[in-house]
C-alpha cells in the first residue's frame, strides 16, 4: 500500500514549541524589544488562527502572507524545527512500514516560506526515511499532489494520515483511505460536521495503530 504522512502534528510535535520559537526569534531580531514573552504569546495566537480549518472558495493553494517573507519568520521556522520532537516513535513506524514493503511518502503542505518544509524534513532526519517527498500548497494543490502519487505509484490503496481531517474533504478517490491522527492541539478544531463528510475514515491516537488500520483495510477490501 501507499502510506502518506503529514508532518506537523502527525510525525512531529511542532505545536507546543511555537511560543518558545517566537521568543527565540524575537530575541535574535529584536533584542531591544521589551516584553518578548508577551509578544511571543500574541504571535502564537495569530499563528494558531492560521491552523484552523478553512472552507469555502479556495483551490487548496495558499498565497504566502507578505509577513512570512520576513527574515524573522524564517528564524521562527528554524527555531521551531530545532525544538520539534518526534511523536510516538514516528521514525521507527516509518522504517517498519518500509520494511513491510509499503511505499511511504511525506505528504504535507508548504510552510509559507518556500522550501522550508523540505529543509525541516532534512534537518530533523526524516527526509531519508521516505520513498518520496511531496509538498503541496504553493506550487501544487492537494488534489494535484494526489494525481502525482497516482502517476508515480499506480492505483494501489492510498492511506493518507493527517492530524487535520478537514483536509480530506472532497479529495482522493475510491482507493483512498483516510486516517485521522488525533493530535490534541489541532483536534480541538474538529467537529461532527467535518467528520461526517469523510468516508473510509479511521481514527488513531498512536502512530503504531497504523498497522491495525492496514490489517483492517486488507480485510475490508478482500470481503468486497
Q: Is the Cβ of residue 7 or residue 158 nearer to Mg ion in the bound state?
A: 7
- Using CB under 5 A, pick the residue from 163, 177, 194, 213 that binds Mg ion: 163
Q: Among all residues, whose Cβ is closest to Mg ion?
A: 9
Least distance CB 15 / Mg ion (angstroms): 9
The C-alpha cell at 84 is 520539534
Residue burial 140-176, b: 16+ Cβ < 10 Å; e: rest: bbbeebbeebbeebeeebbbbbbbbbbbbeebbeebb
6 binds Mg ion (CB under 5 A): yes
**What string marks each residue from 8 to 37 as x (binds Mg ion by CB under 5 A) or -?**
xx----------------------------
- Selection from 174, 182, 181, 183 nearest residue 221 by Cα: 174
The C-alpha cell at 163 is 492530524
Q: Is the Cβ of residue 52 or residue 218 nearer to Mg ion in the bound state?
A: 52
Least distance CB 46 / Mg ion (angstroms): 18
47 binds Mg ion (CB under 5 A): no
Q: Which stretch binds Mg ion (CB under 5 A): 72-80, 161-169, 193-201, 209-217?
A: 161-169
Q: Is the Cβ of residue 26 or residue 136 nearer to Mg ion in the bound state?
A: 136
Residues that bind Mg ion (CB under 5 A): 6, 8-9, 163
Amino acid at each position: 500500500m501507499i502510506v502518506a504522512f503529514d508532518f506537523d502534528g502527525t510525525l512531529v510535535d511542532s505545536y507546543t514549541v511555537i511560543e518558545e520559537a517566537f521568543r527565540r526569534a524575537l530575541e535574535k531580531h529584536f533584542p531591544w524589544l521589551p516584553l518578548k514573552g508577551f509578544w511571543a504569546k500574541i504571535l502564537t495566537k495569530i499563528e494558531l488562527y492560521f491552523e484552523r480549518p478553512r472552507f469555502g472558495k479556495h483551490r487548496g493553494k495558499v498565497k504566502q502572507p507578505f509577513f512570512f517573507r520576513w527574515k524573522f519568520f524564517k528564524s521562527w521556522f528554524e527555531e521551531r524545527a530545532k525544538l520539534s520532537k518526534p511523536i510516538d516513535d514516528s521514525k521507527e513506524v516509518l522504517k517498519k512500514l518500509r520494511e513491510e514493503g509499503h511505499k511511504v511518502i511525506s505528504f504535507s503542505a508548504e510552510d509559507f516560506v518556500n522550501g522550508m518544509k523540505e529543509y525541516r524534513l532534512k534537518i530533523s532526519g526524516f527526509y531519508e526515511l521516505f520513498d518520496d517527498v511531496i509538498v503541496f500548497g504553493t506550487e501544487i494543490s492537494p488534489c494535484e499532489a494526489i494525481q502525482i502519487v497516482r502517476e508515480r505509484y499506480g492505483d494501489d490503496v492510498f492511506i493518507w494520515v493527517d492530524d487535520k481531517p478537514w483536509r480530506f474533504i472532497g479529495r482522493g478517490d475510491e482507493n483512498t483511505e483516510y486516517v485521522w491522527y488525533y493530535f490534541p492541539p489541532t483536534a480541538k478544531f474538529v467537529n461532527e460536521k467535518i467528520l461526517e463528510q469523510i468516508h473510509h475514515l479511521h481514527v488513531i491516537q498512536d502512530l503504531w495503530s497504523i498497522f491495525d488500520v492496514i490489517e483492517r483495510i486488507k480485510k475490508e477490501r478482500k470481503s468486497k
